[in-house]
Amino acid sequence: MNRLKKCLCAILSFVLIITALPVAIVASGETASYSTTLSELEEHLYSGYKEMAKTIYVHSYSATYNDIATAIENVFNKRPDVFYVSKTINCAIASDGYVTTITPVYLFTSEQVESAKTTINNSVNALIGDLDSSMTDIQKLLLLHDRMILDIEYVDEEDADIYDTLTENDYTIYGAFVNKKGVCEAYAKAFKYCVDLLGIENEIIPYSTTNRCVWNQVKINGKWYNVDVKSDDKASLGLFSNVEHKYFLFSDTAALDKGYGEGYSTNGATDITYDSGAFWQSSISSVFMAGDVFVYTQRNGKLCTYDFATGESTVLVSLTSSDRWKAPNTNGSYPYYFMRPIYYNGYIYYNLPKAICTIRPDGTGKSIIYTYSVDNRQIFGLGYNNGVPSFTVRDGMYSEDQIIPLSQTTKILKAINVTTNPTKTVYIKDEALDTSGMVVTASYSDGSKFDLLDTDYTVSSFDSSSVGSKSLTVSYGGKTCPLDLSVVDYGDIDMDYSWTSADLLKLQQHFFEINVLSDMEFTLADNDKNGVVDSTDILTLQTKILGVF
């Protein structure tokens, strides 16, 4: 296979092909450390590339052309930050058969390299910038794997129509992070570049005589596993790609079952722990974080969260067959494109064929927020389009998308109401507010309603220093509604905000066991707050009444 390598070798040692001027570059954008080591020759070549040297002298290494070709390939695989160096090999060979000099071909000027590094850094930060030490290596790698699939479009170098348009950038991290597209080699190099930054030991598995693809191996808890990001990018549809997980943390044994040939260089990925049974293998869309919760979508139409600490999944939403995306396969069966969820503004957004729904990571707040009725197209899924939360509609499974920002579906908040009063609505003088049990419901212009969390709305200050009816104000989204409460004092058994003979009669009837006070009435009758209603309380109330009259 043509791997974009060209050999222009001079037979005499004094023949050189000069293609670039030596310009030093700033190290910003390069990884601080690498998980793979270089040989002395590879380190020498890498140093020359970093300096963008016009000539690299290598005769002292007694390397043949094949040795040089192998060393250059290793540098490209172990140090993907040299994306600006062409695979073209210009060299001079001495009469002893050893290469004396190499004249690198640079794809960019030093200024262009610096600009590209800035763009690469921004892309990498979007992929791994929020992955911190609180996460395990598996969690970091899983999120990186899925985010890369959504971020990069696969270019099939086996496609004859595409092959002639491929450039060397399609094989590098420049293609992956800047152009957002590339062949399998670009995926592998981009993955390594990020994993090196995460401090996880890893290597690229290069092309071999039996394998025409490039993938990665990672070391987790002392064991090696294979990761082939490109192979999990089954339907390269940008933000709404179908994210598979069949090639995430698989063993060498599984690699043979998946069609990888023998003979490739491996670190010995013998552990089969994740070959089957891992929760991500049932997920058909990207695994993502909703706050501190991992969210994924099963093939059977279930939207779930996963707890790495306990190894347990929780089903948030379970869709029926009527909720499937109506695009049958050629055999008449329905595919399992159920939903493409995202996390936005504290809610998980997911789609039905004709609607967008939300639910909180804890399972509350389930609501249909938008119904698509413009035409017969269906909602395929949600994603972030240039950072903007959006959804896409299409005619068929692989038809052209129309991407619509979620902001265009924003419903108008019409009103809020207290639909369930707090458990406590009557307070004794100087008690603090307690809104436990209260439900506030938001009503929208399309007729939908949504129960709010107590953290969503605010309640005005509560003054219980005086008795009487109190009307508080509940606020959310610019709308308000009243919350009516009462404040009474000890002795006011009938809760009419005064001490009267009616209160005294109730207390006396309870004392002589003629009638029984309710719990609240008993509390108010206990004037001395000793837990007993007795003659002392009767005397205290009589004194209060005499004081009033």
Pull the structure tokens for residue 495: 């809760």
Indicate whether 197 and 92 sit together in one domain.
no
**What are the C-alpha distances in Å from 147 to residues 88, 243, 347, 423?**
32, 9, 19, 45
Note the pLDDT tens digit of each residue in 486-509: 999 998 888 888 888 888 888 888
Environment class of residue 277 by beta-carbon count within 10 Å: exposed (0-12), middle (13-18) or buried (19+)?
A: exposed
pLDDT number for residue 237? 52
Three-class DSSP category at 528: coil
**What is the tens place of the pLDDT at every residue in 442-467?**
887 777 777 887 777 899 999 999 99
| Residues 12 and 120 occupy one common structural domain | no
Place of tokens 């929780």: 314
Counting the structural domains of the chain, the total is: 4
Are residue 57 and residue 177 in the same domain, yes or no?
A: no
- The answer to the question of residue 74 being in a domain is yes
Residue 523, judged by CB atoms within 10 A of its CB (0-12, 13-18, 19+), counts as middle
Distance of CA 56 to the CA centre of its chain: 44
Angstrom CA distances, 436 to 212, 422, 444, 460, stand at 63, 6, 25, 15
Last residue of a domain, one of 281, 296, 331: 281
The pLDDT of residue 335: 52
Q: What is the pLDDT, as a whole number, of residue 239?
A: 54
Last residue of a domain, one of 439, 458, 488: 488
Domain span at residue 534 reads 501-548
- Evaluate whether residue 289 is within a structural domain: no
What is the separation of C-alpha 255 from the centre of its chain, rounded to a whole number of angstroms? Answer: 27
Q: Identify whether residues 52 and 82 lie together within a single domain.
A: yes
Q: Does 273 lie in the same domain as 142?
A: yes
- In this structure, what CATH number is given to the domain that contains residue 135? 3.10.620
Write out the H or E segment, with its range, that includes residue 353.
none
Same domain assignment for residues 94 and 178 = no
Q: 103 and 120 share a domain? A: no
What b/e readout covers 412-439, taking b as 16+ CB neighbours within 10 angstroms? eeeebebeeebeeeebbeeeebebeebe
Is residue 2 one of the residues assigned to a domain? no
pLDDT of residue 330: 53
pLDDT of residue 527: 86
If asked whether residues 148 and 218 sit together in one domain, one would say yes
Whether 336 is in a domain gets the answer: no
> Are 85 and 121 part of one and the same domain?
no
- Whether residues 81 and 144 fall in one domain: no
Whether 315 is covered by a domain: the verdict is: no
Query: What does the DSSP assignment read for 389-422?
Result: EEEEEESSTTSPPEEEEGGGGPPPEEEEEEEE--
- Cα–Cα distances (Å) from 141 to 17, 154, 332, in that order, read 42, 19, 37
Say if 405 falls within a structural domain.
no
The per-residue DSSP string of 269-322 comes to ----TTSS--GGGGBSS--EEETTEEEEEBTTSEEEEEETTTTEEEEEEE--GG
Contacts of 276 (CB under 8 A, 6+ apart): none
Q: Token match 């991500």: residue?
A: 280
What are the φ/ψ torsions at residue 382 (nearest 5 degrees)? -120, 160
506-549: pLDDT as tens digits: 888 888 888 888 888 898 888 888 989 888 888 888 888 888 54
Q: What are phi and psi of 51, to 5 degrees?
A: -85, -5
Beta strands at 479-488 and 426-428: parallel, antiparallel or unpaired: parallel
DSSP-derived 3-state class of residue 18: coil
Q: Which amino acid is at 413?
A: L
Amino acid code (one letter) for 130: D
Whether the CB-CB separation of 491 and 505 falls below 8 Å is answered with no
Would you state the structure tokens that stand for residue 289, as one six-digit string?
């974080």
* Tokens 């509560």 found at: 462
Residue 369 lies in a domain: no
Examine the domain organization and report whether 96 and 124 are in the same domain: no
Is 481 in a helix, a strand, or coil? strand
Residue 122 phi, psi dihedral angles, 5° rounding: -65, -40
pTM: 0.71
Record the tokens describing residue 72, joined without a space.
């250059």
For residue 322, the model assigns a pLDDT of 67
Three-class DSSP category at 515: coil
> What DSSP element (H or E) covers 541?
helix 535-548
Beta strands 89-93; 7-10: pairing state: parallel
Backbone φ and ψ of 161, nearest 5°: -70, -30
Range list of H helices, 444-534: 501-511, 519-525
H/E element holding 138?
Answer: helix 137-151
DSSP H/E element including 474: strand 468-476
208 occurs within a structural domain: yes
Q: Evaluate the CA torsion angle 76, 78, 84, 85 in order and state its sign.
A: negative
Low pLDDT (below 50) residues in the chain: 1-31, 334, 549
Residues 100 and 142 in one domain: no
Question: How much of the chain is in helix, strand and coil states, percent to nearest 5?
Answer: 25, 25, 45
Domain CATH for 483: 2.60.40.3630
Mean pLDDT of the chain: 85
Strand partners, 359: 348
Give residues with Cβ within 8 angstroms of 1, minimum separation 6.
157, 207, 212
Q: In angstroms, rounded to a whole number, what is the distance separating the alpha carbons of residues 232 and 237?
A: 12
From 281, 299, 315, the end of a domain falls on 281
For residues 480 and 468, give the distance between their C-alpha atoms in angstroms, rounded to a whole number. Answer: 22
